[in-house]
Structure formats: structure tokens, C-alpha cells
Amino acid sequence: MECDATELLAIAVSVARPAAELAREMRVSGVGDVTTKSTETDVVTAADQAVERQVRDALAAARPFDQVLGEEFGDAPRPGGRHGLRGDGASQGADGRSAVRWILDPIDGTVNYLYGLRPYAVSLAAEIDGEVVAGVVIDAATGEEWTATKGGGAFAAGRRLSGSGQQRLSQALVGTGFAYTSARRAHQAQVLAGLLMHIRDIRRFGSAAVDLCYVADGRLDAFYEKGLNAWDHAAGGLVAREAGVLVSGSGGAPAGPDLVVAAPPGLHEQLLGYLERLDAAGGP
Ligand code: IPD
Ligand code: CA
């Protein structure tokens, strides 16, 4: 079994489309059981879990020996699977493990989903040896789809994406998001208060994966958030990068839990400068 970015993207798209359809259908028939995770505002619905199960089953059928990291069920080996070991050689590392890992957010924008708002999205990325090489984000509410392969560009509805090209921070429409813990939110509010007078305006759409795709297609000029997990930004981050957008963390670090900043090359340094002075990557 070859592990080539284009092929992995084709699998990702073929798995993510029915997953988005399942999420949408479950929304139409009403959000059922709702429980909470890290805090009482961090919700998980029956659909989050059903979509993740469906994607895991589809990936296991297509590529049984790959690893999967998903928001709802973590990175545990598939029950009855072969613990990530594969026998065909093409994608194996020296230790015999598959070099491919899938990173899944079954519903990014769960609070929107709960309230019947958009966007909410299935986000699925494929890594080879720890590097994201393919990704798809589908806004299940609208059917909009963004895809990218490493070095192959980012696309939506057959259009190649190239970001907004905005160069003036004072004219920039900037997306962001907030954590589920009140201590981190207090810090995020201070950072936002310090930034707001220097930009055109702020948007909080409720799905980091879609925010990053909006930066890729120019609907937002830039995006930043502290506290994101890999499943929130793996696919959307690749879409943004492949659209020519710079995606980084703070102080030369790669994008990660401390900070994700995505902005076109003419804007990135200005935005990151403000965020670093405001200690956006700091706090709880
Ligand atoms: C959340 C969304 C939101 C972001 C939060 C994420 P979830 O993911 O991406 O926009 O601000 O930090 O946790 O909980 O809807 O999967
Ligand atoms: Ca998420």
C-alpha cells in the first residue's frame, strides 16, 4: 500500500464526506444526549462520538494498520486491530509501525452544532512520519469543502486558494477563539482587549478548523488562538499554509498548544508582534 499525499487526501475526502453527512442528518433529527468533558461548557454530543466511530471504521477498512488520533477517543489502538503494526513495508518506519497517522476532529464547532449555528466541520488530516501531508475540512452545515496536500496547493470548489493578501493590520479582519476554562479565557480576554484597537475587527465563528480555511480563502485576513489541540488545526493549518499563509506559534515555535497564528506574509510579523507583546502564548 503506497503512502502518497494525493492518495491519502483521496481517502480522507471519501471518508469525511459521509461523516459530514452523518453529522448533518443527526442535527436535523435533533441533538440527543449531551454530556460534558473538561468543563461544564465543553460539550460532547452523541453525534461527535458517532461521527468519530464511523470515520475510524472507514479508515480501518481502507488502511487497517495506520494510527488514528481523534478528539473523542484519543489515540488508543483500534480494538481487535494490530496495534498500528503493518506488514506491507511501503509506509512502515524502522520499528515496523505505520508511518501514517490520521488526526480527526469529528465535529469542530460542537457548541455551534448544539445551538443549530454554523459552521461545524469534520476535520481530517494525514501525517507521514509526524508531518501533515494531506487534509480536508468539510463544513457539514453548508457542504463547503477545503482540501490541501503538502506542496500541492489548497483548493475549494476547484479554486486554488491564496489568502487575502492584506498587508495592513489596521485593516485586517481577524478570527480567534476561546478556551473552555475560565482562567484561560480571562487571559484571552486581556489579549483581545489589547489587540482590538489595532485591527479592523474580530470574528469568533466557533470552529478553528473552519477559521483557518477562511484565512486560506480570504474570508478572514488572519486568525490566532491559544490552547488548540492537534485535531483543531492539523487539516486547516495545512490548507492555510498551502494557500501561502504563514502558520506559526510564538517566538519561532511551530503552531501548537501555546499559540496558532495564521496570516498572509505581509501581515504575519505585525500580528505576531502584537500577540507576543500581549503574551498571547502565556497565561494559564
Ligand atoms: C473548539 C472550536 C473553537 C475553539 C476551541 C475548540 P470543538 O473545538 O474549534 O472554535 O475556539 O478552542 O476547542 O470543541 O468545537 O471541537
Ligand atoms: Ca475541535
What pLDDT, on a 0 to 100 scale, did the predictor assign at position 85? 30
What pLDDT, on a 0 to 100 scale, did the predictor assign at position 29? 85
CA of residue 83 to ligand 2 center, whole Å: 25
CA of residue 204 to ligand 2 center, whole Å: 14
CA of residue 165 to ligand 2 center, whole Å: 27
Name the residue at shortest CA distance from atom 2 of ligand 1. Answer: 207
Name the residue at shortest CA distance from atom 8 of ligand 1. Answer: 108
What pLDDT, on a 0 to 100 scale, did the predictor assign at position 41? 81
Mean of pLDDT values over 96-107: 91
CA of residue 11 to ligand 1 center, whole Å: 25
DSSP the chain: ----HHHHHHHHHHHHHHHHHHHHHHHHT----EEESSSTT-EEEHHHHHHHHHHHHHHHHHSTT-EEEETTTBTPPPTTS-TTB-SSSTTB-TTSBBSEEEEEEEEE-HHHHHHT-S--EEEEEEEETTEEEEEEEEETTT--EEEEETTTEEEETTEEP-------GGG-EEEE---SSHHHHHHHHHHHHHHGGGSSEEE--S-HHHHHHHHHHTSSSEEEESS--HHHHHHHHHHHHHTT-EEE-STTPPSBTTBEEEE-HHHHHHHHHHHHHTTTT---
Which residues, chain by chain, have CB under 5 Å from ion ligand 2? 105, 108, 232
Of 274, 276, 271, 278, nearest to 168 (Cα)? 271
Structural domains present in the chain: 5-160 (3.30.540.10), 169-277 (3.40.190.80)
Query: What is the per-residue pLDDT across 129-167, written as a single tens digit (0 to 9) for each?
Result: 999 999 999 999 999 999 999 999 999 999 999 999 899
What pLDDT, on a 0 to 100 scale, did the predictor assign at position 33? 73
What pLDDT, on a 0 to 100 scale, did the predictor assign at position 2? 52
Residue 171 has pLDDT above 70, yes or no: yes
Query: What is the per-residue pLDDT across 200-236, written as a single tens digit (0 to 9) for each?
Result: 999 999 999 999 999 999 999 999 999 999 999 999 9
pLDDT band at 96 (very low <50, low <70, confident <90, very high): low
Residue 80 has pLDDT above 60, yes or no: no
pLDDT band at 86 (very low <50, low <70, confident <90, very high): very low
Name the residue at shortest CA distance from atom 16 of ligand 1. Answer: 108
pLDDT band at 90 (very low <50, low <70, confident <90, very high): very low
